[in-house]
Amino acid sequence: MTTNSERIIIFDTTLRDGEQCPGATLNIDEKLTIAKQLARLGVDIIEAGFAVASPGDFEAVSKIAQTVGTEDGPVICSLARAIKNDIKAAADALQPALKARIHTFISTSDIHLKYQLKKTREEVLSIAEEMVAYSKSFMSDVEFSPMDAVRSDPEYLYQVLERVIAAGATTVNIPDTVGYTTPSEFGALIKGIKDNVPNIDKAIISVHGHNDLGLAVANFLEAVKNGARQLECTINGIGERAGNASLEELVMALHVRRQYFNPFLGRAVDSEPPLTNIDTKQIYKTSRLVSNLTGMLVQPNKAIVGTNAFAHESGIHQDGVLKNKLTYEIMDAQSIGLTENQIVLGKHSGRNAFRTRLKELGFELSDLELNKAFIRFKEVADKKKEISDWDLEALVNDEIQQAPDLFKLELVQVSCGSNANPTATVTLRNPQGEELIDAAIGTGPVDAVYKAINRVVNVPNNLIEFSVQSVTAGIDAIGEVTIRLKYEDKIYSGHSANTDIIVASAQAYVNALNRLYGALLNKNRQQITA
């Protein structure tokens, strides 16, 4: 990849490190949908997965490489431990991409060397060097990460970086694996690397960090001031434990405070070109897509993409904003693609208007997907007079959610009210196509529905999260339901949108159960073939 020291490279790891958070597991089609949207968002590099981890991961990296790794698309990257087998798998999976990168890593902190790797510093140094050279035999774009760099001895870190750059690493990534550092410390570490690694001008300095102390974004911005030019981040900040540095926060900080950051990149204070390649208008949509498909809800007060991020509640603030937005707003909601809640379509809108508006909103659907989404649109338009952009987005995201279609929800009926026992009847079709009907009484209508579904599906599970959010204001709004189930130590999510929240709740539950059931089937298959 070409180096432009006046611009910040955005390396998105939503599909690799982001997907590592409990319950965020995505299937291949969902990963592909997100990768396409990341390309529209304008990220420079997509870390598409960890090819050697499983056949599913390999296939996902390969499909993304093939579909999104085009001439004008982003670089597609796969993670690989500093092990030949991993690196070979990464190279094989990345084969179809026109621009590809292997990202190989090994720990360099003494604590990891002693307890995890059981290797000496010298051994790790030569493995790192050798494996970068091996990666280089497959492609020119090679990134190396000294894992737990922040807790490594800086002198040893400089030595490792010098050797891997000499072996051909074109990007050296400095991870704060455990989310331990603080902004000034991290800035000083990056400066130390610039000052003490003799061949550092031959590589791009990247940063990667976790948010255990809530400092990841602040740490990265300090790193930028000290010479880092690639930021590894995820949409909505999802990832291991407290997550990774959030893409939208980093990008908007660099966007809104461009004049502050310009000089650190050798630019005039009022230099106009954006500091990243990101199309900020795609941020909100990407955030919603990732949240819907992973089942990881965005907290309402989350910077940039939370539902309250642009809402003014206090009277004084409202008064000021009405007089002049700049009184209390540092950025325009439209700059992240939050359009006014436009009423665009209604009951009489035809397929063409529907297709055209979806295209304008950036959805590229196959004919089959479009047909399915249009049927859903007509159903909703019958119940809800005016369909806004946000409604359309919720419907389409719902349609493209690809939970395996094992159990199909055919019918759900509830009876409830004061002085009544909430009772639900459900009809489902099992994977063999047989129709199964059952009923149950619950503490409320949703509880009754879930009990009835459980009687049919008969897969043990523990419901750990249930949330309903309305897409727009108004009594006829579409409700979006997100749920998370636990089975053994794994979490499975489900999402659905409908004007009837009981139907959305039932469908979200069936989607999550299908993921769980699919995982159990896979496990059984693997045990039989082992």
Binding residues (CB under 6 A) for ligand KIV: these are 17, 79, 105, 145, 147, 175, 177, 208, 210
Nearest-5° angle of CA 20, CA 203, CA 279? Answer: 60
Q: CB under 5 to 8 A by kind: which of Zn ion, ligand KIV, none does 105 bind?
A: ligand KIV
Query: Which member of 17, 57, 162, 176 binds Zn ion (CB under 5 A)?
Result: 17
Residue closer to ligand KIV, measured from CB, 177 or 230:
177
The residue among 492, 500, 444, 501 whose CA lies nearest residue 468 is 501
Cβ 442 vs Cβ 415: under 8 Å: no
Q: Which amino acid is at 157?
A: L
Q: Where are the beta strands (DSSP E) in 324-478?
A: 343-346, 386-388, 408-415, 423-429, 435-441, 462-470
Residue closer to ligand KIV, measured from CB, 105 or 390:
105
Does 47 bind Zn ion (CB under 5 A)? Our answer is no
Task: Count other Cβ atoms within 10 Å, centred on residue 422.
Answer: 19
Could you tell me how far CA 243 lies from the centroid of its own chain? 11
Q: CB under 5 to 8 A by kind: which of ligand KIV, Zn ion, none does 145 bind?
A: ligand KIV
Residue closer to ligand KIV, measured from CB, 234 or 280:
234
* Smallest distance, Zn ion to C-beta of residue 177, A: 6
* Smallest distance, ligand KIV to C-beta of residue 199, A: 21
Residue closer to ligand KIV, measured from CB, 50 or 354:
50
Residue closer to ligand KIV, measured from CB, 147 or 193:
147
Residue closer to ligand KIV, measured from CB, 241 or 383:
241
Q: CB under 5 to 8 A by kind: which of ligand KIV, Zn ion, none does 147 bind?
A: ligand KIV
Task: Please tell me the distance from the alpha carbon of residue 468 to that of residue 138, in angstroms, as a whole number.
Answer: 48
The region of 12-20, 310-318, 347-355, 429-437 touching Zn ion under the rule CB under 5 A is: 12-20
* Smallest distance, Zn ion to C-beta of residue 2, A: 26
* Smallest distance, ligand KIV to C-beta of residue 384, A: 43
* Smallest distance, ligand KIV to C-beta of residue 351, A: 45
Token pair, residue 404, equals 């395996």
Residue closer to ligand KIV, measured from CB, 176 or 480:
176
Cβ 50 vs Cβ 42: under 8 Å: no
Residue closer to Zn ion, measured from CB, 209 or 445:
209
Residue closer to Zn ion, measured from CB, 215 or 336:
215
* Smallest distance, ligand KIV to C-beta of residue 90, A: 13
* Smallest distance, ligand KIV to C-beta of residue 254, A: 21
Tell me the residue nearest to Zn ion as measured from the CB: 17
Place of tokens 């990341």: 38
Q: Which of positions 386-415 make contact with Zn ion (CB under 5 A)?
A: none
The region of 14-22, 77-85, 399-407, 515-523 touching Zn ion under the rule CB under 5 A is: 14-22
The region of 10-18, 27-35, 323-331, 432-440 touching Zn ion under the rule CB under 5 A is: 10-18
Helix (H, G, I), strand (E, B) or coil at 469: strand
Residue closer to Zn ion, measured from CB, 243 or 442:
243
* Smallest distance, ligand KIV to C-beta of residue 416, A: 47
Token pair, residue 316, equals 């004084």
C-alpha dist (Å) from residue 507 to 20, 27, 375, 513: 25, 18, 17, 10
Task: Count other Cβ atoms within 10 Å, centred on residue 122.
Answer: 8
- Contacts of residue 135, defined as CB under 8 A and 6 or more positions apart, other chains included, come to 80, 87, 90, 91, 102, 104, 142, 168
Q: Which amino acid is at 238?
A: I
* Smallest distance, Zn ion to C-beta of residue 344, A: 40
**H or E stretch at 134:** helix 121-136
Residue closer to ligand KIV, measured from CB, 105 or 220:
105
Residue closer to Zn ion, measured from CB, 11 or 377:
11
Task: Count other Cβ atoms within 10 Å, centred on residue 526.
Answer: 9
C-alpha dist (Å) from residue 381 to 345, 377, 378, 391: 8, 6, 5, 10
Task: Please tell me the distance from the alpha carbon of residue 142 to that of residue 167, in angstroms, as a whole number.
Answer: 10
DSSP string, 223-290: HHHTT--EEEEBGGG--STT-B-BHHHHHHHHHHTHHHHGGGGT--TT--S-SS---GGGHHHHHHHH
Q: Which of positions 295-354 make contact with Zn ion (CB under 5 A)?
A: none
The region of 9-17, 95-103, 352-360, 379-387 touching Zn ion under the rule CB under 5 A is: 9-17
* Smallest distance, ligand KIV to C-beta of residue 105, A: 5
Token pair, residue 420, equals 């009544």
Strand order in the sheet with 408-415: 408-415, 423-429, 435-441
* Smallest distance, Zn ion to C-beta of residue 175, A: 6
Angle between helices 154-166 and 121-136 (to 10 degrees): 30
The region of 16-24, 81-89, 215-223, 381-389 touching Zn ion under the rule CB under 5 A is: 16-24
* Smallest distance, ligand KIV to C-beta of residue 81, A: 9
Residues that bind Zn ion (CB under 5 A): 17
